[in-house]
Amino acid sequence: MADKDQNNQSTELEELAKDNQNLKNNVTLGQKYLMWIIIALSVVAVAVLIYIFAVRQPGVKASNEAISQADITLAQGNDSLALAQYQQVAADYGYEAGSRAALMAATLNYKKGDYEAAIADLKNFDAKEAVVGAAAMSLEGDCYVNLKNYSAALASYDKAIKVSDNNALYTPLFMMKKATVLREQKDFAAELKVLEAVKADYPQYPATYRIDIDKYIARAKYQAGESK
């Protein structure tokens, strides 16, 4: 009986020793994993710091200096040179300066009537702020209107309306532009719907800009009925 108890005790001690060894192995493995995770995070942190201080900050500084020079050129009245400078900044840099340069180039090209070039410039534009982004989409729509590509113009105005996010000053302006294009397409029912939305959702806008919205609504309603 004593031998049996001794054998059982020996077995239990062996199992306990085995469990302790497994636990020790797991702890050691866990420590190795933790060490590699720490090393990996450290590498990522170093890479981020290198990007910020060796790449991004010098890039931002260079782009800001470049667009400042273009701004000075424009202020001096040399639109052609300023246009070339803005386009160069947009091509060479990202960041906010590169995006603003693209919008400035598009505006200058629109001003001189080169609507296709203005649309191409806007492809390099990436707005971080809703109103500016909506204005860019509206400018794109204006370019398409001048090119008589009315379906593309409507798509651009719809984007401007969405991006402007119910801005009381700009959203109804984009809606009125959309209504004008719909009228040009003789889609008077759709025009009427947009005009009525302007009156209902932005009642102050027509009064502020002395727009006789009721007259436009009545005209669209009459012509929508006539076209049926």
pLDDT above 90 covers a percentage of the chain that reads: 46
Identify the pLDDT of residue 70.
Answer: 81
Residue 140: pLDDT band with limits 50, 70, 90: very high
Q: pTM of whole model > 0.85?
A: no
Better-predicted residue by pLDDT, 126 or 199: 199
Residue (of 176, 111, 100) closest to 139 by Cα position? 111
DSSP string, 31-54: HHHHHHHHHHHHHHHHHHHHIIII
Torsion angle defined by CA atoms of residues 111, 114, 120 and 126, in that order, rounded to the nearest 10 degrees: 0
pLDDT 10s digits, 141-162: 999 999 999 999 999 999 999 9
- Whether residue 209 has pLDDT greater than 80: yes
For the chain, give the mean pLDDT. Answer: 79
When computed from its CA atoms, the radius of gyration of the chain, rounded to whole angstroms, is 33
What average pLDDT score do residues 59-79 get?
77
DSSP class of residue 60 equals: H
- Whether residue 65 has pLDDT greater than 70: yes
Residue 100: pLDDT band with limits 50, 70, 90: confident
Identify the pLDDT of residue 47.
Answer: 46
Residue 5: pLDDT band with limits 50, 70, 90: very low
Identify the pLDDT of residue 31.
Answer: 57
Are the beta carbons of 58 and 89 closer than 8 angstroms?
A: no
Residue 35: pLDDT band with limits 50, 70, 90: low
Identify the pLDDT of residue 17.
Answer: 52
- Whether residue 225 has pLDDT greater than 60: yes
DSSP 3-state assignment of 212?
Answer: coil
